[in-house]
Amino acid sequence: MPIPVIAVFDIGKTNKKLCVFNEDYEIIFENAVQFDEIKDEDGEACEDIEKLSNWVTQAVTELFQSEKFNVRAINISAYGASLVYIDEEGKVLTPLYNYLKKYPAKLKSNFYSQHGGEEKICLETASPSLGSLNSGLHSLRDPLCPLWFQV
C-alpha cells in the first residue's frame, strides 16, 4: 500500500532539493542536485530555468507514478526574489535573474520619477528599494513580459 507523503521542493541558489516526508514528518526520500549557472542577456550569471524546470517536472512525474508513494501535497520554496513570467501556455517569457544582479540605474530612475518618486513608491508598497531583490521590478527589464512598459 502506498505511503501518504508530502513532497517539498527547496530551490536554493546553489542546491535544489526534493524531500519527501511521511505522516510523522520523517524524510523518507531525498534528492539534491546542482546546476551550473548560465548567462543572461547582459552576460551575467543566472539560473538555468530550463534545467530547473525539467528537474522539477521529472521529479513530480516520478513521484506520482511511484507505487511507493501517495502524494497528498506539494510545497515549493525558492530563494531570493525568484520570479519568472510565463504566458498562458506555460512558455517562459523572461530569464530567472540572479537577485544579486545590479538593477539598471536608468530604468530605476525613470520608473521612480514617472510614479511619484522612490520614497512614495516604497511607502505605498511597503517594499524597500532593493533593486533586483524587488521581484516586481523584474517586469520592467524585458519587453517580452506582458507587464513591460517603456520607461
Instruction: Kindly report the average pLDDT of the chain as a whole number.
Output: 88
pTM for this predicted structure: 0.80
State residue 145's pLDDT score.
54
State residue 149's pLDDT score.
47
State residue 142's pLDDT score.
62
Per-residue confidence band for 146, with pLDDT thresholds at 50, 70 and 90: low
Domains annotated for the chain, with CATH where assigned, are 3-78 (3.30.420.40), 81-151 (no CATH)
Give the rounded percent of residues in the chain with a pLDDT score beyond 70. 92
- CB neighbour burial string for 4-36, b if at least 16 within 10 angstroms, e if fewer: ebbbbbebeeeebebbbbeeeeeeebeeeeebe
